Amino acid sequence: MAKAELKTKATEVSVADFIAAVPDARRREEAAVVDAIHRRVTGHEPKMWGPSIIGYGSYDYVYESGRSGTFCRAGFSPRKAAMTIYLMGRYCDRQKDADALFARLGKHRTGKSCLYINKLADVDLDVLEQLVALSWDAMNERYPD
């Protein structure tokens, strides 16, 4: 059986061009704000991962099944339905810290490792930055360079 190739990998597409092409003006403005937060927290210039994820840094992983790959350590996607922020670190050993921040964040939904925000105006941006930092720190602990 052939190994499936990962669809979401770093590309050479310009992040600035991608953000400029986001159709909704509010979502474009929000993407610039979330990008600035990620740049401050991570110290990394972003890269596009696949067609729609703006990612910062990278890490290599191996599942118990043996499947392996590389993905961004932090990232987001300015999707039409909601701003999607990837918070992988929430699921390390910092659940209590994450839960306290989520309680103060404002209007949002979460998935397994995603935070969904309909409008940035509905959340506390300082708390959002703390969540991104918590996730970044946890990812760096779990996957040291």
- What pLDDT digit, counting tens, does each position of 50-103 carry? 999 999 999 998 888 988 889 999 999 999 999 999 987 655 677 888 899 999
Closest CA to 58 of 115, 138, 87, 49: 49
What CATH number does residue 133 fall under?
A: 3.90.1150
Asked if the structure places residue 124 within a domain, the reply is: yes
Asked if the structure places residue 3 within a domain, the reply is: no
Name the residue with higher pLDDT: 4 or 130.
Answer: 130
Number of domains forming the structure of the chain: 1
Distance (Å, whole) CA 60 – CA 51:
20
Token duo for residue 28: 């474009």
Asked if the structure places residue 9 within a domain, the reply is: no
Domain of residue 116 covers: 23-142
Predicted model pTM: 0.90
Asked if the structure places residue 78 within a domain, the reply is: yes
Q: Which residue has the tokens 């599942």?
A: 63
Asked if the structure places residue 90 within a domain, the reply is: yes
Closest CA to 47 of 20, 73, 77, 10: 10
Residue type, 144: P
Length reported for the chain: 145
Q: Could you write out the DSSP letters of every residue in 76-117? A: EEE-SS-EEEE-GGGGSS-HHHHHHHHHHHBS-EE-SSEEEE
Return the percentage of the chain with pLDDT > 90, whole number. 71
Asked if the structure places residue 89 within a domain, the reply is: yes
